[in-house]
Chains A and B, each alone.
Chain A
Amino acid sequence: MSVWDQIIGQPEAVHTFTRAVAAATNPRDPGPAMTHAWLVTGPPGSGRSTLAAAFAAALQCPAGGCGACTVCRTTQGGGHPDVEIIRADTLSYGADDARHLISRSSVIPTSGRWQVVIIEDSDRFTSEAVNVLLKVLEEPPQHLVWVLCAPSQEDVLPTIRSRTRSVQLRTPTTSEVSQALQDRYEIDPAMAAFAARASQGHIGRARALATDEGARIRRQEVLRSPATLRDLAACFVAAGDLLSAATEDAQSISTELDASETADIRQAYGEGAQGLPSSKTNRLANSALKAAEKTQKSRRTRLIRDQVDRALVDLIAYYRDVLILQTGAAIPLINDEMRAQIQREASSADLPDTILRWEAIESARAMVAANGALPLVLEALMVELKDPRINQRT
């Protein structure tokens, strides 16, 4: 067992990080495979943050990432005192936030090993924040390791790119995801294959689809919506339905995350506190729980936006399938189980309209990312899916 077991379909990245961990056993004198600043890039769902957390655990664990000890478990659960995980709760991360972060992370690690800072959405840093950060990246304190995550290299300012070592993740293949679902969660092969295909390589999504019937039903409903857009009122209803499906998806994800974080914190303060009076550990545990609650709350809001984006990606896959049937390309459908509806859409719509619809979904995704009001973005999208030429006509 090891912390790397959780990483699916990223052998190259795991190789790079295990070499770094091996070279990092002495923080005073790390070997060349180790460095102070990393940039992990990969598409959503490829497991950027999981990988970053595994790396942090391996650096802290006395056994180099056994995956079983308290250190490994608390690190991966986000509860290790020397590992700070920054999630952008707001849409951008300003200079003041960056300064705070730097002053917090400059303290000597309590465990005597490394101080690790993981930034999950480096692409949301403002340029002022980047400038603050750059100074530290140029001359990092000896004990400090930065792991910056972003969807792609292009999302990060060149100045950051040039000062970090890059680890690029790829989208795991359908068969890798399917295999992982079978091995790890004992999903039967047919369901695993469906979930891997439907999630398009997004691991977390694949697991949700494979294990949660509610998630499967909600996905079905979203994909059925293009066939329901009879009139304007129906578009608004479809938009509302999509938003509530995404909200439920976000809720089930956050419930699970919250529960496991809370359990990790309890365990960390329960197990690792021999010798301390129980009143003190209780107090520490309580304040850790309170801090966790606060981040959980803001995470929930962000998760809804993420899940709306997921649903839009599902819709893009749907129109991609329509396009495949319209062009007669010999490629398997992502949503094969909906072939009948896709066939109807393919024969009733003309090809340029399908492309316009696809583009409308892409622009809705951009609006979601730009903090557009979710109901409004979705209402506008449904209107455009119903009538992709609405903009040309008025």
Chain B
Amino acid sequence: MAKTFPGLTLLVGPEDVLIDMAIADIMAKVRQQHPGALKTEIAIGGDVDSGALAQALAPTLFGDVGVVVITAGEALDDAGVQMLTLAAAEVDPVNMCVVVHAGAAKGKKALTALRALSPPEISCAAMRKGRDTMSFMGSVMRRHDRRASTEALQVLYDAIGHDPRALAAAISQLCADVEVDPINEDAVRQYFAGVADVAGYQVADAVWERRVSDALGDVRWLSAVSGKASVGPAVTAAMASGLRVVVGVQGMPQGMSNDAVAQQVGMPAWKVRTAQAQARKWLPERLAAATVALAGLDVAMKGGLRGKSADPDQKAYALEKFVITTVGGGK
């Protein structure tokens, strides 16, 4: 006996990633029984009115089962609510309606009316930093059929930050690459330490391409991911080698072939074009000032002129300051 699905489901709240996940869950469940189930998404509002909704809810010629996702549910008018009320009353519905409602004061009347039908409701409330995010991460883990220790989740959270979409992406990456189960703190650190090596060069690329916010994001990521070891001379070394290439390319006469430039500067020919694009973003004077600042940063990473062991926070701060002051601003 095939299980029946509710004719109406409410997703209430503004958190996009939770909405996406809820919709994906519903689709997965429906498709278990009806592999060919279609998803139709309509956003109420603008020139999409209840007429369009009626069309979407009309049974298809062959009686195929479908899921109709109605986004911007706060814009539903009385006619729309009426239609959904009918849909919710179906015992064995052909169309499963999913209404996404931000849950705020706007469109409150429609929400109250729909809630009165007592359909299943999934909360997609905005996540507060901290515990909400942690439990979200736990739920993402479960979606991947994996478990992780609280410490592991904490390390991950420190590394990625609050952005739930980025967290969900990192978790699915982690679940794909890490075998130990439940995933523990060490496994997370180890996984991201490898990433940090690469990140030094990522920072360098972003810096010389003058993508300030990318560079800052990478720096933040780097300092959070693998802690003390990651923000340090390796990053300045990566930036210094990038700088040498940019300066070298800038010093080459116009019209020189890529191969000749590559040979003169000491770099692979395929990199010449990228380096030239970077070089065009810098006036020589700014680049000169960046050289001086970078040398200072390198010493700061090594504990400064007095050779004290530098506090990781200070180092991360020095790196951020370098990025903002040397890379930011005009050409």
Contacts and interface: CB of A to CB of B under 8 A. Distances in A.
A267 to B, nearest CB: 39
Interface string A327-369: 0000000000000000000000000000000000000001101
A235 interface: yes
A232 B305 contact: no
B295 A233 contact: no
Given A370-B302, A391-B292, A236 B240 contact: no
Contact of B288 (A232, A371, A373, A375): A232
Interface residues of B, number: 30
A49 B204 CA distance: 43
B299 A370 contact: yes
B102 to A, nearest CB: 47
Interface residues of A, number: 29
Nearest to A382: B291
Nearest to A364: B295
A130 to B, nearest CB: 15
A371 B302 contact: yes
Interface in B279-297: 284-289, 291-292, 294-296
Contact of A236 (B233, B237, B244): B244
Contact of A379 (B252, B295, B307): B295
A390 interface: yes
B288 A372 contact: no
A383 B243 CA distance: 13
A384 B290 CA distance: 11
A29 interface: no
A383 B292 contact: yes
Nearest to A386: B288
A232 B250 contact: yes
B247 interface: yes
Nearest to B307: A370
Contacts of B243: 379
A234 B291 CA distance: 13
Most buried by A among B243, B250, B292: B292
Interface string B103-132: 000000000000000000000000000000
B312 interface: no
Contacts of B218: none
Given A367-B305, A379-B291, A373 B247 contact: no
Most buried by B among A372, A376, A393: A376
B307 A91 contact: yes
A380 B247 contact: no
B324 to A, nearest CB: 13
B248 interface: yes
B209 interface: no
B251 A232 contact: yes
Contacts of A92: 307
B236 interface: yes
Contacts of B305: 366-367, 369-370
Interface in B227-265: 233, 236-237, 240, 243-244, 247-248, 250-252
Contacts of A236: 244, 247-248, 251
Nearest to B246: A232
Nearest to A379: B291
Contacts of B237: 373
Interface of A: 91-92, 231-236, 366-367, 369-373, 375-377, 379-381, 383-384, 386-387, 390-391, 393-394
Q: Which 9 A-B pairs have the closest CB atoms?
A: A233-B251, A380-B295, A394-B289, A372-B299, A380-B292, A383-B288, A232-B284, A376-B295, A376-B240
29 contacts: A91-B307, A92-B307, A231-B251, A232-B247, A232-B250, A233-B248, A233-B250, A233-B251, A233-B252, A236-B247, A367-B296, A370-B304, A372-B298, A373-B233, A375-B240, A375-B244, A376-B294, A376-B295, A377-B295, A377-B299, A379-B243, A380-B294, A380-B295, A380-B296, A383-B291, A387-B285, A390-B288, A390-B289, A394-B286
Given A232-B287, A370-B299, A375-B244, 13 more contacts: A92-B307, A231-B284, A232-B250, A233-B248, A235-B291, A236-B244, A370-B302, A370-B303, A372-B302, A379-B295, A380-B296, A383-B292, A394-B285
